[in-house]
Structure 1
């Protein structure tokens, strides 16, 4: 039995689809099961509730061989550590009590960097990993840079203003990964019963690419001019506060962006093993273009 958390999210729903195609027995934890696709409700066991709740994870982890763990960053949390570490504590206890064998988690690049203790959500993710690792469970942390899919959140600005905005230098070449590739690796590891031990698995996308490079590719794919505009970190944080985030979580997003601008995502050398197939151009054609043009 494989348990999937956050099964309606960007990555989780793709993990579920990959696992359903394999025919493996799966169980999902969902706050609102009505948001699950019909085929998921029909084919998977569904445990209703939050995977931050002790009773919920204890029920969901019974008889589980593997767990896909993804912590949704609570925009209203009192602190980044509350959102990541405190949220995960009930699950860490349940992993031990239910004797789960393997965990595959979504986490961030940056372990070992001098920036790791002041990188907002990255800091929280790495502390969350440490908590899970401390249970003794076999563990693979999929260590990711920024997601290409995050650019789609600015589809309206790209359509209406011909721009997208971040506080990171436009010329800095950084790794970027499509969530479909993360989900594919997660599913492969969840289905593989042979691995043991605890380690990170960097997932770097196919190339390092700057936001100015992205703007050129978006322009080419959409057939209209699009530019990247770097904004201040203060303005970046203010946008999240305006959208209803707590000050602590908005600061966590800002601190993560600052660390990325300082190169925290460049701490792992690229190899053929940690490079994934989906190029930014392909992602734009498949995902961004329909989001922008409808």
Structure 2
């Protein structure tokens, strides 16, 4: 069983690699800088060093694999993020179409089921569609909003401010990437699934950003207030930061397109994961904020 893991140093990929190793599988990892892998991991995996934007590298690295776990590496700030995501996945799609890869597990997102109008998530919808047409067995793992997205604004949270352009009153699933990795790993190790499979990966509850602010207040030990940002104000900020028009709309579109989003798959035994935001925030976010704030922080 040859399992290829992309982005093996990310929040999800690193945990997937660890779980596969613990299951007795030696995965093939595609990584730009092997030095980012810890020494113990490097000794136990097959390392393919290269860039996922290099079509030749990707095609050669995935050839002959039973299963490829694909995580789109494209930054939301790329000049044309949707086009870049689709171009980056193209060699994987070609390998699946040619029969060089038997199965692909795609880290997708809730919102991809809309197919259009959800910003950069539209790229994941396009990758889903392209993989569906290859004839390979494909698994689309549609993940909820990651807890770790909160790490993108440690400065704001350290000041007690939670900023968002999402509808503050719209409840949506939140999920711990470690729980996502556990679902990914068991799916990769299960050799029985066939055809096209879609599985949502939700956390244990749907949360509004208002509720998130209250959870963080309790977990962090100080008040965190919600500060909604209008879409036009976000556009202005992103443009001032030098982002291109496609990048701006890719970012704004994710929040705008999620305002009426109801995930295609409801919460049930198969789609719900256990970790609650409060526990994660106390164990993971609180120490990071203390380090960010410096000596003397709570």
TM-score by length of 2: 0.91
Give the whole-Å Cα distance in 1 for the aligned partners of 2:239 and 2:7: 24
Give the whole-Å Cα distance in 1 for the aligned partners of 2:117 and 2:31: 31
Aligned to 1:283: 280
8 Å CA contact 2:96, 2:103 repeated in 1? no
Give the whole-Å Cα distance in 1 for the aligned partners of 2:3 and 2:174: 28
Deviates more, 1:214-223 or 1:35-44: 35-44
For the residue of structure 2 that corresponds to 1:201, the secondary structure is: strand
**Displacement of 1:77:** 3.5
Residue deviations 1:120-158 (CA, integer Å, cap 9, x gap): 112111111111121111111110221111012222211
Give the whole-Å Cα distance in 2 for the aligned partners of 1:241 and 1:34: 34
Give the whole-Å Cα distance in 2 for the aligned partners of 1:76 and 1:284: 26
Aligned to 2:174: 176
Aligned to 1:79: 80
Aligned to 1:91: 92
**Displacement of 1:65:** 0.9
Q: 1:208 to 1:188 in 2, by over 3 A?
A: same
Give the whole-Å Cα distance in 1 for the aligned partners of 2:12 and 2:244: 24
8 Å CA contact 2:76, 2:251 repeated in 1? no
**Displacement of 1:267:** 4.0
Q: Which runs of 5+ in 2 are unaligned?
A: 292-298
For the residue of structure 2 that corresponds to 1:205, the secondary structure is: coil
**Displacement of 1:112:** 4.6
Aligned to 1:38: 39
Aligned to 1:25: 26
Give the whole-Å Cα distance in 2 for the aligned partners of 1:135 and 1:80: 23
Number of residue pairs the alignment of both structures matches: 290
**Displacement of 1:234:** 2.3
Give the whole-Å Cα distance in 2 for the aligned partners of 1:217 and 1:273: 25
For the residue of structure 1 that corresponds to 2:162, the secondary structure is: strand
For the residue of structure 1 that corresponds to 2:139, the secondary structure is: strand
8 Å CA contact 2:52, 2:73 repeated in 1? no
**Displacement of 1:243:** 4.8
1:18-167 aligned at under 5 Å gives the runs 18-75=19-76, 77-97=78-98, 99-113=100-114, 116-159=115-158, 161-167=159-165
Q: 1:214 to 1:44 in 2, by over 3 A?
A: same
8 Å CA contact 2:199, 2:265 repeated in 1? no
Q: CA RMSD in A?
A: 1.8
Give the whole-Å Cα distance in 2 for the aligned partners of 1:76 and 1:112: 23
Give the whole-Å Cα distance in 1 for the aligned partners of 2:37 and 2:243: 26
Give the whole-Å Cα distance in 1 for the aligned partners of 2:50 and 2:95: 15
Aligned to 1:194: 192
For the residue of structure 2 that corresponds to 1:25, the secondary structure is: coil
8 Å CA contact 2:219, 2:279 repeated in 1? no
8 Å CA contact 2:59, 2:92 repeated in 1? yes
Q: 1:289 to 1:197 in 2, by over 3 A?
A: same
Is 1:292 aligned with 2:289?
yes
